[in-house]
Amino acid sequence: MNELEQLIGRIAPADQGAMEAARRRWDAVAKPLGSLGLLEDEIVWVAGMLGRPEVDFGRKAVIAMCADNGVVAEGVTQTGQEVTAIVTENMASGRSSVCRMARVAGAEVIPVDVGVARPVTGEGLIQANIRRGTANMTQGPAMTREEAVEAILTGARLVERLHGEGYGLIATGEMGIGNTTTSSAVASVLLGRPPVEMTGRGAGLSTEGLRRKIRAIERAVEVNRPDPADVLDVLHKVGGLDLAGLAGVYLGGAACRVPVLVDGFISSAAALVAARLCPAARDYMLGSHASEEPASRLMLEELGLRPFLYAGMRLGEGTGAVAVMPLLDMALAVYREMPTFEDTSIEAYQPLS
């Protein structure tokens, strides 16, 4: 059995008994039943992930997978490939958008060079480069199947290490110019929908740029003929190293029973890859927001995830997932610290018939 098969074999479904116990705790809290809505539901779900009703997130982190995509040669982006390296180093030095937001949320940003086109440096950067950017997928596979698997394992190994260091809540983030193109390609193939339905303007394409982007995806699918029944075939032919690394983060979270927040469209595409590799991995994912990309809500529906936010966000980096962390902290404060009906001598609310 290879390492990926061993990883998947460790993943078990969420604990239904722990979820039932957590729901009973919520129902005992001195407030109207279900009045915190999705906040209550997600804490219940986290209890199932942890396998116990005593929920504690511990330390929080944002894992940002950074990689370049050869498809940028097709004119599918507004900015050049060099921006990936610049923002990756800004993340490492704490100067990117997600870093500022993460400080407020009490989370650490951990950027990973899994495939940036040029060498990058920074004190907080994890060096795990598998190749210096993927190939242009309109001319052949973006990477080899073996490289895709290694990127998956890189993400999973990192989560396992963080879990051992006391991290109990992880957000997914990414940086990679061109990765909305690869994400749209992966989503198009795995969901069986035409690229025109799954492709948006990314970080700000013109109408002509959007047409080029759609044509590039159509060519990549035509040239590579990825097999939707073989998710690794899809990933290595029309995906990216950042997507593969994030898929590993989801699998690693599931194996370690660590909740993982799904960020926007790109993170959702990686989550779908993980769920197709191991359906039980879905039990360890939490939604955060619905991005402005047209396929974002389709991906969330396919994964069965409910987003907390509809804020029109499309920045990436993990910013949407980080924005939800304080909401979860607030829900957990009520769940753990509020008095019960019995404590306050208030008559308990009864379920509506």
Q: What is the CATH number of the domain that holds 321?
A: 3.40.50.10210
148-180: per-residue pLDDT in tens?
999 999 999 999 999 999 999 999 999 999 999
298 contacts 193 by C-beta, under 8 angstroms: yes
Q: Can you give the pLDDT at residue 312?
A: 87
Q: Give the mean pLDDT of 31-49.
A: 96
Q: Give 280's DSSP letter.
A: G
Rounded to the nearest 10°, the torsion over CA 167, 316, 212, 68 is -50
Do 197 and 84 share a structural domain?
Answer: yes
Tell me: do 63 and 48 sit in the same domain. Answer: no
Q: Percent of the chain scored above 70 by pLDDT?
A: 99
Distance separating alpha carbons of residues 174 and 167, to the nearest angstrom: 19
User: Is the pLDDT at 247 greater than 80, yes or no?
Assistant: yes
pLDDT at 293: 80
The pLDDT of residue 277:
98
- Structural contact between residues 88 and 121, judged by C-beta atoms closer than 8 angstroms: no
Whether residue 173 is contained in a domain is answered as yes
293 is a domain residue? yes
Average pLDDT over residues 301-308: 95
* 167 shares a domain with 39: no
List, for residues 99-134, the tens digit of each pLDDT value. 999 999 999 999 999 999 999 999 999 999 999 999
Burial class, 54, CB count within 10 angstroms (exposed 0-12 / middle 13-18 / buried 19+): exposed
Residue-averaged pLDDT of the chain: 95
Which listed residue (82, 123, 317, 337) is catalytic?
A: 317
Residue 353 pLDDT more than 60?
Answer: no
Report pLDDT for 202. 74
Classify residue 164 by burial, with Cβ atoms within 10 Å: 0-12, 13-18, 19+.
Answer: exposed
Residues 207 and 265 in one domain: yes
Same domain for 212 and 243? yes
Residue range 245-259: mean pLDDT, rounded = 98
Q: What per-residue confidence (pLDDT) applies to 344?
A: 83
The pLDDT of residue 348: 75
Residue 317 annotated as catalytic: yes
Burial of 134 (0-12, 13-18, 19+ CB in 10 A): buried
Q: 22 and 102 share a domain? A: no
Domain enclosing residue 306, as ranges:
59-326
Which residue, among 261, 273, 272, has the nearest Cα to 151 in the 3D structure?
Answer: 273
In a domain, 69, yes or no: yes
CA–CA distance from 9 to each of 3, 6, 79, 153, 163 (Å)? 10, 5, 41, 14, 18
Residue 205 has pLDDT above 80, yes or no: no
Pair 28, 155 in one domain: no
Which residue is associated with the tokens 């994400």? 183
Tell me, yes or no, whether 197 lies in a domain: yes
Statement: residue 183 has pLDDT above 70: yes
pLDDT of residue 4: 97
Looking only at the bridges linking them, the beta strands covering 167-175 and 126-127 are unpaired
Task: Give me the pLDDT at residue 232, please.
Answer: 98
What is the arithmetic mean of pLDDT over 94-101?
A: 96
Longest dimension (CA), the chain: 71
Q: 189 and 238, same structural domain?
A: yes
Residue 351, domain member (yes or no): no
- Candidates 268, 284, 261; CA nearest to 105 is 261
CB atoms within 10 A of CB 37: 11
Q: Is the pLDDT of residue 40 over 80?
A: yes
Bigger pLDDT: 345 vs 107: 107
CA angle 28, 33, 39 (to 5 degrees): 95
Give the residue-averaged pLDDT of 5-21: 98
Mean predicted confidence (pLDDT) in 276-300: 92
Arithmetic mean of pLDDT, 43-63: 97
Quote the CA–CA distance of 167 and 158 in Å, as a whole number: 11
DSSP classification of residue 70: G
Q: What pLDDT sits at residue 1?
A: 65
Same domain for 41 and 108, yes or no, is no
Give the pLDDT confidence score for residue 352 in this predicted structure: 63
Q: Pinpoint the alpha helices (H) of the chain.
A: 3-9, 16-28, 38-50, 82-92, 97-105, 145-164, 179-191, 195-198, 207-224, 231-238, 241-256, 265-277, 296-303, 319-337, 341-344
Say if residue 177 is in the same domain as residue 310. Answer: yes
Pair 31, 109 in one domain:
no
pLDDT at 182: 97
Binning pLDDT at 50, 70 and 90, where does residue 292 land?
confident
Q: Into how many domains does the chain fold?
A: 2
Q: What number of other Cβ atoms are within 10 A of residue 297's Cβ?
A: 15
